[in-house]
Homo-oligomer: A and B are copies of this chain.
Amino acid sequence: MSYKIAVVGATGLVGQEMLKILHERKLPIKELYAFASFRSEGSFVKFGEEKIKVEEARPEKIAKADFALLSIGEEISLEISPEVAKKGTIVIDNSNAFRMNPDVPLVVPEVNPEDLKEHKNIIANPNCSTIQMVVALYPLHKKFNLERIVVSTYQSVSGKGKDAVVELLDQTREFLNGNKIEPKVFPYPIAFNIIPQIDNFEENNYTREEMKMVRESRKIMHLPNLKISVTCVRIPVIRGHSESITATFSKDFTLEEVYNILNKAPGVKVLDSPQEKIYPYPLFCDGKDEVFVGRIRKDLFEENTLNFWVVADNIRKGAALNAVQILEEIIKGG
Contacts and interface: CB of A to CB of B under 8 A. Distances in A.
User: DSSP class of A's interface residues: helix, strand, loop or mixed?
Assistant: mixed
Interface string A156-174: 0000000000001100110
Interface stretch (A24-32, A106-114, A233-241): A233-241
A304 to B, nearest CB: 13
A196 B150 contact: no
Contact of A228 (B193, B283, B300): B300
A36 to B, nearest CB: 27
Interface residues of A, number: 56
Stoichiometry, copies per complex: 2
Given A172-B172, A309-B231, A196 B302 contact: no
Given A194-B242, A242-B194, A294-B196, A301 B148 contact: yes
A305 interface: yes
A231 B206 contact: no
A135 to B, nearest CB: 18
A38 B197 CA distance: 46
A282 B148 contact: no
A281 to B, nearest CB: 6
A58 to B, nearest CB: 36
Nearest to A169: B176
A154 interface: yes
A283 B189 contact: yes
Contact of A193 (B152, B281, B302): B281
Contact of A206 (B176, B284, B297): B297
Interface string A303-319: 00101010000000000
Interface stretch (A6-14, A65-73, A271-279): A271-279
A100 interface: no
A150, A188, A280, A294 — which one has the most chain B CB atoms within 10 A of its CB?
A: A150
A3 interface: no
A246 B307 CA distance: 14
3 tightest A-B CB contacts, nearest first: A227-B301, A152-B152, A152-B244
